[in-house]
């Protein structure tokens, strides 16, 4: 990133572990003041204390469950403040499991944390950023956003989680196009499997105790964040940290354009054929 244009306060959700904690560390190392948001007050306090000691930046914390409307409203109010120049929507839960078996309450929470909260926080942050002529929003999605047709095994049962991450990709890309004539940048980062504690819980409650890493391994969260911040500096809207073929995203856009050519006044011939055969 171009530091002289963007330094200020960065608000990072899901900052108590994994990718969120890495955003906090790397941004603090670059001189950003921070507001760290997560459910685990003890971890937030410990991380904030280390960052203050190591970097000298100002670090505030907000203990909040973004599935709770009152907590979300408190974070919305903070991210709308004039000092916030970067919002990192990293908080997310997975709710993995066969769709017909997962508790409906957990699925509602997945939607609240993965879709409603980042949308609301972006809406709270962006008007001020646009008015001030500076700022950025980073939304953390997943490569599972592009895995809709693949069956579980080895991938997880993920109908709702994958759907929420697909939303984040489409939301971010469309929003970036809407804001293309402004200095404000918008990015969606789509990691693959990452070495965090994400798979240790479905999301009903946070992982207790010290930060851990699931057995599946994956890319380091530090590398995910390094890629994201580098891509933000070049206004790369879709960042896939492990993707060597950068043109793959452009080919995806071309394929989407081909599908959108179906927006004509007449139905395709194959459906006419089916209509005749049924008659």
Of 186, 193, 251, nearest to 218 (Cα)? 193
Task: Note if the bond before 73 is cis, omega within 30 degrees.
Answer: no
167 is catalytic: no
Contacts (Cβ under 8 Å, ≥6 apart) of 245:
none
From 23, 96, 161, 167, the catalytic residue: 161
- What is the C-alpha separation between 114 and 125, in angstroms, rounded? 17
Q: How many helices (H) and strands (E) does the chain have?
A: 10, 7
Catalytic residues: 161
């Amino acid at each position: 990133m171009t530091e002289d244009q963007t330094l200020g306060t960065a608000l990072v959700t899901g900052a108590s572990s994994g990718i969120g904690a890495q955003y906090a560390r790397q941004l603090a190392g670059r001189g950003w003041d921070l507001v760290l948001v997560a459910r685990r007050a003890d971890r937030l306090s410990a991380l904030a204390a280390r960052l203050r000691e190591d970097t000298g930046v100002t670090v505030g914390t907000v203990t909040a469950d973004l599935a709770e409307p009152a907590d979300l409203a408190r974070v919305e109010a903070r991210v709308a403040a004039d000092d916030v120049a970067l919002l990192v929507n990293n908080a997310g839960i997975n709710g993995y499991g066969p769709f017909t078996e997962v508790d409906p309450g957990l699925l509602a929470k997945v939607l609240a944390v993965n879709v409603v909260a980042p949308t609301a926080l972006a809406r709270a942050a962006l008007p001020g950023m646009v008015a001030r002529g500076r700022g950025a929003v980073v939304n953390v999605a997943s490569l599972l956003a592009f895995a809709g047709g693949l069956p579980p095994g080895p991938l997880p049962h993920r109908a709702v989680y994958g759907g929420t991450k697909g939303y984040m990709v489409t939301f971010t890309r469309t929003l970036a196009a809407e804001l293309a004539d402004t200095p404000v940048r918008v990015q969606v980062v789509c990691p693959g499997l990452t070495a965090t504690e994400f798979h240790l819980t479905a999301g009903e409650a946070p992982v207790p105790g010290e930060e851990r890493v699931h057995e599946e391994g994956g890319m380091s969260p530090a590398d995910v964040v390094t890629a994201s911040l580098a891509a933000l500096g070049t206004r790369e809207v879709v960042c896939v940290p492990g993707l060597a073929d950068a043109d793959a995203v452009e080919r995806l856009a071309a394929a989407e354009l081909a599908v959108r050519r179906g927006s004509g006044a007449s139905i395709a011939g194959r459906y006419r054929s089916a209509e005749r055969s049924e008659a």
